[in-house]
A = this chain, B = another copy of it.
């Protein structure tokens, strides 16, 4: 059915108009000039549009209509849709605005009700339309005088903003990036993003999918669809409008750090899409992945340039994206010496100087390729000196496109360079117009090579009885009317899920505290346990490093006194072994309103909110996914060793995945905050503190 949106046998344009500048005229014009099947123009006023007779009602149309394009005033759309239903139309696009985006959610609901009643699948309202270059069909109202329509190709685009979508088509057109299909989903009242993603995943002619997202409906479904799509073709996503501050009044670290943007970031990484940060990057990546069919076999990037400064800026930009230029082996250097004048420095970037003719590029590139030391080649050509024989370079460039490795050309400047870029694109090469564009192209190629590498990987296993233990503790608390677990209870949940915790016992009075301390061995830590305290250390409710019974006794009394003064109901005093450690991490989980169970990892223990070095993923997650989370933060630096200890990433990944399991399996748990999770001198990870918040339902 969705296929009919792009490949109908017949089309009706309802609201077709002859008024210059009207959208109804623009749409009719585009459809008539692109579509080869029957097109019926409909308008209550009748008459003639673009030299064709107009039917007053859809029921007057002589043939069957596969796809109805509705571009009438919003108030008339319900009636038009009823007409569609009555004559058996199964697919419709509503272009008209004036629905939920303009405060008329009621009208939109009415339209959807009618569509559902007749079994019509509906794109929009407030859509700019669809394009299919194969059918061919241009069912948009975009003015082709003002914006380009791309040639036929392999990139499909779905946009949540119509105008931005048509701008992207315009930019693709300028860059000669070929289009397969385009859809503007408008208000997505019926047909949603995830369905179109699934359609394009199955569409063999779609080689690359590009998505512009502004909000996420049916989040888990969309992310599932994206993950499936990205196992078979590159998916590039640009997200707009999600910047938003974290909730200030949040009671746990994880809640304070959770923002829509962060959770969606994590979820999109997990779906293995290529995320870009700007419109410019989006179009650059569509160009490079739409044009370059060969994938890099490794990450050795080499730059050949005729402009030292551009080589420098490109190298900077590549490093800012977390990549590095490859070193050139000695053997290659000596080979290059026979090609490059002796006084020139040889390195990467390989600077051939402004006087370099095409023949020098050719000889250097041949050496590089035959030495098999390059996985991605970036060729900078600034045609500024007349020494640069541009025509031969364009001729040579065709060969570069077939060299067996991905090649990106960087050309920058005004008209002359722009013309050169066009010629190179006609030769099938991706052209970057700035160092930043070249580096995002390189990054996308490398990301793609990594993404297409493997399976999702294994999830962590947890003991069968873990969930039973956790549920029992949780239900006990809920029965007592509590919405938090005590620290000792929270730690018992962690222990059940095989997360290491310090040895501890709960004392109800100070004499007992001393006995426990003697049993655990000194030094010990004392902590107030109360159902009513969250940031306990802030008020002095934790005392560390107690080395003998006398100190335990006196500090214990002080804590009792403190809780009396602060009028905090006391569950008891936790007596815990002291755990020496070199770094503090935070792991958390919560149920995101939009995307459900979500896990977080962050650096800095109690400083985690200050540092905001955090990463999110949806739960459940695999160990590989958890390792990727860690890589997104500076926690990864602990893997190289810090203060004599090396973090084993898989150990932390296991902890994250286990915390994810808890929130996945125990639905009464709303938030988990394991903080600090200490990295000990022995390289172990121990949960020194834990909070669990419950949801009453």
CB distance from A621 to the nearest CB of B (A): 24
Identical chains in the assembly: 2
CB distance from A544 to the nearest CB of B (A): 6
Q: Say whether A309 contacts B164, CB under 8 Å.
A: yes
Does any Cβ of B come within 8 Å of A383's Cβ?
yes
| Contact A386 to B143, CB < 8 A, known contacts A278-B435, A604-B607, A610-B583 | yes
Contacts of A315 in B (CB 8 A): 241, 243
Complex-state Cα separation, A554 to B523, whole angstroms: 13
Q: Say whether B312 contacts A241, CB under 8 Å.
A: yes
| Contact A310 to B414, CB < 8 A, known contacts A435-B278, A610-B638, A610-B642 | no
Q: Say whether B436 contacts A278, CB under 8 Å.
A: yes
Does any Cβ of B come within 8 Å of A98's Cβ?
yes
Q: Say whether B310 contacts A163, CB under 8 Å.
A: yes
Does any Cβ of B come within 8 Å of A280's Cβ?
yes
| Contact A414 to B382, CB < 8 A, known contacts A434-B278, A643-B606 | no
Complex-state Cα separation, A550 to B413, whole angstroms: 77
Which listed residue, B101, B147, B415, B545, touches A384 by the CB 8 Å rule?
B147
Comparing A170-178, A458-466, A688-696, the segment that makes contact with chain B is A170-178
Does any Cβ of B come within 8 Å of A316's Cβ?
yes
Contacts of A26 in B (CB 8 A): 385-386
| Contact A163 to B611, CB < 8 A, known contacts A147-B413, A278-B435, A279-B313 | no
Does any Cβ of B come within 8 Å of A667's Cβ?
no
Q: Say whether A310 contacts B634, CB under 8 Å.
A: no
Which listed residue, B164, B310, B353, B555, touches A307 by the CB 8 Å rule?
B164
Closest to A172 in B: B414
Does any Cβ of B come within 8 Å of A567's Cβ?
no
Q: Say whether A148 contacts B414, CB under 8 Å.
A: yes
Q: Say whether A415 contacts B161, CB under 8 Å.
A: no
Q: Say whether A240 contacts B279, CB under 8 Å.
A: no
Does any Cβ of B come within 8 Å of A224's Cβ?
no
Closest to A147 in B: B384
| Contact A643 to B535, CB < 8 A, known contacts A147-B384, A166-B384, A243-B319 | yes
Q: Say whether A434 contacts B280, CB under 8 Å.
A: yes
Does any Cβ of B come within 8 Å of A449's Cβ?
no
Q: Say whether A98 contacts B544, CB under 8 Å.
A: no
Complex-state Cα separation, A243 to B323, whole angstroms: 12
Complex-state Cα separation, A308 to B535, whole angstroms: 42
| Contact A316 to B147, CB < 8 A, known contacts A167-B307, A307-B164 | no
Contacts of A550 in B (CB 8 A): 548, 550
Does any Cβ of B come within 8 Å of A401's Cβ?
no
Contacts of A319 in B (CB 8 A): 243
Contacts of A308 in B (CB 8 A): 161, 163-164
Does any Cβ of B come within 8 Å of A387's Cβ?
yes
Complex-state Cα separation, A417 to B214, whole angstroms: 24
CB distance from A391 to the nearest CB of B (A): 13
Complex-state Cα separation, A174 to B159, whole angstroms: 31
Does any Cβ of B come within 8 Å of A344's Cβ?
yes
Q: Say whether A163 contacts B382, CB under 8 Å.
A: yes
Q: Say whether A547 contacts B555, CB under 8 Å.
A: yes
Closest to A282 in B: B313
Q: Say whether A413 contacts B167, CB under 8 Å.
A: yes
Q: Say whether A313 contacts B240, CB under 8 Å.
A: yes
Complex-state Cα separation, A153 to B26, whole angstroms: 43
Q: Mark A579-607, 1 if CB is under 8 A from B, else 0.
A: 00011000000000000000000011011
Q: Mark A280-308, 1 if CB is under 8 A from B, else 0.
A: 10000000000000000000000000111
Q: Say whether B214 contacts A23, CB under 8 Å.
A: no
Q: Say whether B167 contacts A20, CB under 8 Å.
A: no
Does any Cβ of B come within 8 Å of A551's Cβ?
yes
Complex-state Cα separation, A613 to B611, whole angstroms: 9
Complex-state Cα separation, A416 to B554, whole angstroms: 81
Q: Say whether A170 contacts B212, CB under 8 Å.
A: no
Does any Cβ of B come within 8 Å of A354's Cβ?
yes
Complex-state Cα separation, A103 to B642, whole angstroms: 41
CB distance from A310 to the nearest CB of B (A): 6
Q: Mark A500-540, 1 if CB is under 8 A from B, else 0.
A: 00000000000000000000000000000000000101100
Does any Cβ of B come within 8 Å of A249's Cβ?
no
Q: Say whether A413 contacts B551, CB under 8 Å.
A: no
Does any Cβ of B come within 8 Å of A202's Cβ?
no
Does any Cβ of B come within 8 Å of A412's Cβ?
yes
Closest to A318 in B: B243
| Contact A547 to B551, CB < 8 A, known contacts A279-B434, A317-B278 | yes
Contacts of A546 in B (CB 8 A): 545, 547
Those of A77-99 within 8 Å (CB) of chain B: 97-98
- Pairs across A and B, CB under 8 Å, 16 listed: A21-B386, A26-B386, A101-B345, A146-B385, A147-B384, A164-B309, A167-B307, A240-B313, A243-B315, A280-B436, A535-B643, A537-B643, A547-B554, A551-B551, A610-B637, A611-B634
Write the residues of chain A forming the contact surface with B, with a CB cutoff of 8 angstroms. 20-21, 23, 26, 97-98, 101-104, 141-143, 145-148, 159-167, 170-171, 173-174, 212, 214, 240-243, 278-280, 306-310, 312-313, 315-317, 319-320, 343-345, 353-354, 382-387, 412-417, 434-436, 535, 537-538, 544-548, 550-551, 554-555, 582-583, 603-604, 606-607, 610-613, 634, 637-638, 642-644
The 8 lowest CB-CB distance pairs between A and B, nearest first, are A161-B309, A164-B309, A545-B545, A174-B414, A102-B343, A241-B312, A163-B307, A240-B312
**Given A98-B343, A548-B551, 15 more pairs with CB closer than 8 A:** A103-B343, A142-B384, A163-B384, A164-B313, A165-B309, A167-B384, A170-B414, A174-B415, A214-B309, A241-B312, A279-B313, A537-B643, A538-B582, A604-B611, A610-B634
